[in-house]
Structure 1
């Protein structure tokens, strides 16, 4: 029973992280950079929780506690890896949004000075 709860923790935290990252990209596109950064931090916390559960399951297996590979476990791993990838890509997209905003501001300044 605890094993299923641990697996669900991975799924829930992975899903929360993924959602936070996608919201962060939307915020960054709209110029809400501080909110985007906060959402990425929230995603990182959720991923840390999921990773800690995953690590405890791996350590239990190393100690000889055999875990049956179930579809639910595969689903959890899929959620976690997907969330990690989305986080990494979101960070890159947010950085591009920041650069675009800086360039737009410089351009406005140049136009207003003419």
Structure 2
């Protein structure tokens, strides 16, 4: 696979992961304001961005598994880090909605 294509995939992952991260932080702000339904909707939007990032990653993995030579670049490592971090952040945010709701309902 060409170096330029690998970089394009990496930047797609970073782009979608970054968008998801922004949305997740918006959801945290909504949680603080007891806007739980809005926060859930924002997390659903964030998840759509995560899915797009994951699709880019999966395409690269499919090509690698079919025997295509792929040179791993530092930008791809950075992109993978972004994706895994945002996936974890989304899981934490989903749990925090439940915690905020419990506190609000006491």
TM over 0.5: yes
Deviation at 1:19, TM superposition (A): 1.6
Distance 1:63 1:80 in 2: 23
Q: How many aligned positions are there? A: 103
Distance 1:101 1:2 in 2: 48
Paired position in structure 2 for 1:14: 17
User: Which stretches of structure 1, 4 residues or more, deviate above 3 A after TM superposition?
Assistant: none
Contact 2:10 2:76 in 1 (8 A): yes
Answer 1 or 2: higher relative contact order, Cα 8 Å, separation at least 6: 2
| Structure 1: segments with no counterpart, 5+ residues | 104-114
Deviation at 1:3, TM superposition (A): 2.5
| Structure 2: segments with no counterpart, 5+ residues | none
Contact 2:31 2:100 in 1 (8 A): yes
The RMSD of aligned alpha carbons is: 1.0
TM-score, structure 2 as length reference? 0.91
- Name the larger-Rg structure: 1
